[in-house]
């Protein structure tokens, strides 16, 4: 049987969406964006391959944004997937 009594005043609190959504930078998770930017800067500045670094950043950032639209926490899942061994792995 469901309890149909009204809740007392102050019992329920509205939770804003910004408190529950993950932090995204440029549409991708923060970790992925920082790693992507660091690698692109290493290509562009360290190896002096400016065009390659820029193209790398655009392509990888686009892939990260695409994956983040499907699952905003895909980096956490990917890290967990890499850490765990396969059950049937020899």
- Residue-range domain boundaries for the chain: 25-82
* Predicted pLDDT at 1: 56
pTM of the model: 0.71
Listed in sequence order, the residues at least 6 apart from 29 whose beta carbon sits closer than 8 Å to its beta carbon are 22, 23, 64, 68, 72, 73, 74, 75
* Predicted pLDDT at 90: 64
At 89, the pLDDT band (50, 70, 90 cuts) reads: low
Which phi and psi (to 5°) does residue 24 adopt? -120, 140
C-beta separation of 68 from 74 below 8 A: yes
The string of pLDDT tens digits covering residues 8-17 is 777 777 788 8
What is residue 84's DSSP assignment? S
The string of pLDDT tens digits covering residues 28-40 is 999 999 999 999 9
The string of pLDDT tens digits covering residues 45-57 is 988 889 999 999 9
């Amino acid at each position: 049987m469901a309890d149909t009594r009204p809740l007392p005043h102050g019992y329920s609190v509205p939770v804003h969406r910004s408190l529950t959504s993950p932090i995204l930078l440029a549409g991708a998770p923060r970790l992925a964006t920082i790693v992507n930017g660091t690698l692109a800067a290493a290509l562009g500045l360290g190896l002096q391959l400016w065009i390659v670094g820029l193209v790398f950043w655009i392509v990888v950032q686009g892939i990260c944004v695409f994956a983040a639209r499907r699952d905003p926490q895909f980096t956490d899942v990917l890290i967990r997937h890499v850490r765990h061994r396969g059950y049937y792995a020899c």
